[in-house]
Structure 1
Amino acid sequence: MSTIYPLQDLNITNGWTVERNVFYDIGPDSNVSEDDKFINIYCQQDMLAMKKGQILLDLGWYGGEDLNNKNAGYCIYLVRGDCWDEGELLEKFRSKNKQSIIDKINELILAVDNNIYDNSRGRLVYEHNESTGIYVGDSYSYSVLSSK
């Protein structure tokens, strides 16, 4: 039976609606059972989903439990639209390091709160239809702000 862990502390400000949160205060390097890591981290492509206006912040774990797999790790998508795989990609960030993920989430919350992305056009993303934009699964990071 899996232990119930507290949710990860984040600096979520007013105006954000949390649609899903199973981003627990454990990470790949935590001193917990491998079964608990598997259930609470490695099988969670939908850890955190939160919206503010038309901006969606989505966090998941991708690539399985083999930490030697270069594709395994947390992935954050910041998208304008209703779904991370059919919107306008503003930011994508991947890391195995949980503190880096926490810091990036807090940074993105602040950036959205300060309207940093209001005048930026992101890249259209596709997960299912290759003719509509970029495939989001093939890069480790992207920022509309650094592409200007």
Structure 2
Amino acid sequence: MKMMIAAAVIFLIQQKGLVSERRKYQLRSEINIKEVESMNKPYEIQPLRLLGGWTVEFNNFYECEPDNCNNFGEYFVEDLLQLTNSKNNLVLDLGWYLDSDKNGTYKLFLIKDYDWEKPLEYFESRNTKAIVDKIEYWTNYGFYQKYL
């Protein structure tokens, strides 16, 4: 149903001359990708409050608690979230370790100059709210300026 509505919207916009053929193809591709990604994911992406300067490299971090999640292995993997701040050469990386293991934990790293051997900050928890709070805190300039 969503695909039919999206296709109708694209068609109407194009008919009015507001979208080029190239953009129509891009929109259709974006809608198809989003549709496929969300088809089997009953949970939403975890909302985060981030200040400017951070880029989302990938985001597989869902609103799904480790102790109460259907299809656990689909949501709790090593590559959950990666944010970069290219101006300050920082990387924030979140994963679940061991991958797909119900006894695992979130591990959050703040890295400078891609030096994965010496993280600036490290935090580990099974609590999603604690991880969200730490991400929002670490991505605040008031916090990470001490590493610049």
Indicate whether the TM-score tops 0.5. yes
TM bracket, shorter-chain basis = 0.5 to 0.7
Aligned residues: CA RMSD? 2.1
Partner of 1:66: 102
- Report if aligned partners of 1:27, 1:37 keep a CA contact under 8 Å in 2: no
- Report if aligned partners of 2:81, 2:95 keep a CA contact under 8 Å in 1: yes
Partner of 1:126: none
Partner of 2:49: 11
| Separation in 2, partners of 1:74, 1:112 | 24
Structure 1 segments unaligned to the other structure (5+ residues): 119-148
- How far 1:109 sits from its partner (Å)? 0.8
- How far 1:114 sits from its partner (Å)? 5.7
Which protein is richer in strand relative to its size?
1
TM-score (norm 2): 0.64
Q: 1:49 to 1:112 in 2, by over 3 A?
A: farther
TM-score (norm 1): 0.64
Partner of 2:109: 77
The 5 Å alignment of 1:1-148 reads 2-30=40-68, 32-33=69-70, 36-41=71-76, 44-52=77-85, 53=87, 54-63=89-98, 64-67=100-103, 72-82=104-114, 85-86=116-117, 88-111=118-141, 115-118=145-148
Structure 2 segments unaligned to the other structure (5+ residues): 1-38
Moved over 4 A (4+): 111-114
| Separation in 2, partners of 1:114, 1:96 | 24
Among all aligned residue pairs of Structure 1 and Structure 2, give the percentage whose two residues are the same amino acid: 33
Q: List per-residue Cα deviations over 1:47-99 (Å, max 9, x = no partner).
A: 101111301000000024232xxxx20000100023x635x410011011111
Q: 1:107 to 1:73 in 2, by over 3 A?
A: same
| Separation in 2, partners of 1:58, 1:90 | 12
- Report if aligned partners of 2:50, 2:139 keep a CA contact under 8 Å in 1: yes
Tell me the matched-pair count. 107
Structure 1 stretch displaced more, 1-10 or 47-56: 1-10
Q: Secondary structure at the match of 2:47?
A: coil
